[in-house]
Structure 1
Amino acid sequence: MTIKLLCIGKTDNRELKQLIEVYYKRLQFYNKFEIEIIPDLKKTKNLDENKQKEKEGSLISAKLQNSDFVVLLDENGKEFSSEKFSAYLQKRLNSGLKQLIFIIGGPYGFSEAIYKRADAKIALSQMTFSHQMVRLFFTEQLYRAFTILKNEPYHHR
């Protein structure tokens, strides 16, 4: 199975990019993992929030296959401890999926079409983080989940 993180817009901060790359490389030892960036929309000044979400939703939809299991990283999603997230991940790994896709939306979240397409929603926290920080936190938590599944010492209980 391939695990993919789909994001709107590139990471501008060099230090964040470097940290994300650290976990990206580590994850390659456990599972095929990809990060795919959908470029920011251009000329959004005249778009209201809903129009922007719809346009981003169309770009996201174009990247999805019917067989993909789609998880939105959304503030209203289910929260997990790291251990419970690793169990959730193991369940998905055992399910025979071809692709497990986690999505970080744009600045205003997701369109209704993307919410309807999603198979699940996960919240990393009740706090609000920048979209760029979420990339780092998610890749670290995914790495942590794999180390928990392999009983490796990265995660301390």
Structure 2
Amino acid sequence: MILTTSRKPGRKTRTLAKFLAKFMNWKYISRGKKSLEKVYSLSPDVAILEEIKGNPSILRIIKNGREVFSMRFNPGKIEKVKMDNSPVFFSGDVWFDPLIFDAVPVSFAGKKMKKKFKAMGALKKEILVKKDRNKYHMLFNYSGRLVGKLIVMRSMR
């Protein structure tokens, strides 16, 4: 999957986009003057990080030309960390299908795989989703350490 931003993203948006791309094993493309059609020609699966008033606020995921997921969020803590390309696991109160993010699904087979990775000490990337009243907190853990946080205001799909 390709992750891109608006044409002239702010510094915070670029930082978050690079972090998400590294964490989720996506390819980050600086959009510049490229049209969305040009980006879609590179890959049918695209994630677009949009901003409101200079802050990253909306993540849209488009698969095969159709928007399948969209969420409004406030970014929290983001750390710059060197990451490998190990698989991403979701856990907690996940309200969407992790396959949308190209992550390991929260199914019987996915849980079994996660258990094996944990036993081998190879579980590196995990996104813990917690529900707090009407908000969701997405905690990005790398090697057991919190490296990023998004507070999801609402999911639009």
Q: TM-score range by the shorter chain?
A: 0.3 to 0.5
Q: When you count helix as a share of all residues, which structure comes out higher? A: 1
Q: Which has the higher contact order (CA 8 A, sep 6+)?
A: 1
Q: TM-score, normalised by structure 2?
A: 0.34
